[in-house]
């Protein structure tokens, strides 16, 4: 992750480059939700949403064109809080037993993450500060946090 070759984010699943964007149905804009703030409280200093929590913005998958831009993005996909990350992992059906939680420091990347509408952002990591197995208690708390998706 600390070398350039490991700092690219690939699209999940079947993102067909050039196809009509299924995230925004080709509209080019979509609702963004910062799950870090929705789950832990709004923060004006949030690097993802600056305290907006929910807002309309250019669709991250097609970059507003309505057609999937499936090329890899430069940067490592991260969430500013563990809660936001856990929410994403569970929403995407990831097997938590296979997950390792990596905590890192880095600089904001210029590119936009495919899941920016879920509160993800891309960074260029400069230092790995922690590495942990999934916290089951936290996963349960996030699961039952009762924040309804819009």
Residues that bind Zn ion (CB under 5 A): 21, 23-24, 34, 36-37, 46, 48-49, 59, 61-62
CB nearer Zn ion, residue 2 or residue 51 = 51
CB nearer Zn ion, residue 15 or residue 36 = 36
| Nearest by Cα to 91 from 79, 102, 103 | 79
CB nearer Zn ion, residue 37 or residue 76 = 37
Q: How far apart are CA 32 and CA 50, in angstroms?
A: 12
CB of 13 to Zn ion, least distance (A): 15
CB of 8 to Zn ion, least distance (A): 20
CB nearer Zn ion, residue 2 or residue 16 = 16
Alpha helix positions (H), the chain: 35-40, 82-91, 136-143
Q: What is the dihedral of CA 103, 107, 109, 114, to 10 degrees?
A: 20
Q: How far apart are CA 72 and CA 104, in angstroms?
A: 21
CB of 104 to Zn ion, least distance (A): 18
CB of 34 to Zn ion, least distance (A): 3
CB of 98 to Zn ion, least distance (A): 27
For residue 90, the Cα-to-chain-centroid distance in whole angstroms is: 12
CB nearer Zn ion, residue 21 or residue 76 = 21
Total length of the chain: 150
According to DSSP, residue 81 is labeled S
């Amino acid at each position: 992750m600390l070398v350039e070759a490991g700092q690219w984010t690939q699209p999940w699943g079947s993102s067909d480059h050039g196809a009509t964007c299924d995230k925004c149905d080709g509209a080019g804009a979509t609702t963004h939700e910062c799950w870090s703030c929705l789950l832990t409280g709004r923060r004006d200093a949030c690097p993802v949403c600056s305290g907006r929590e929910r807002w309309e913005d250019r669709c991250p998958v097609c970059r507003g064109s309505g057609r999937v831009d499936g090329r890899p993005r430069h940067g490592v996909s991260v969430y500013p809080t563990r809660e936001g990350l856990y929410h994403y992992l569970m929403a995407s059906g990831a097997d938590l037993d296979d997950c390792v939680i990596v905590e890192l420091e880095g600089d904001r990347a210029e590119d936009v993450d495919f899941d920016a509408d879920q509160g993800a952002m891309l960074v260029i990591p400069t230092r790995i500060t922690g590495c942990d197995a999934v916290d089951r208690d936290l996963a349960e708390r996030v699961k039952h946090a009762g924040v309804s998706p819009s």
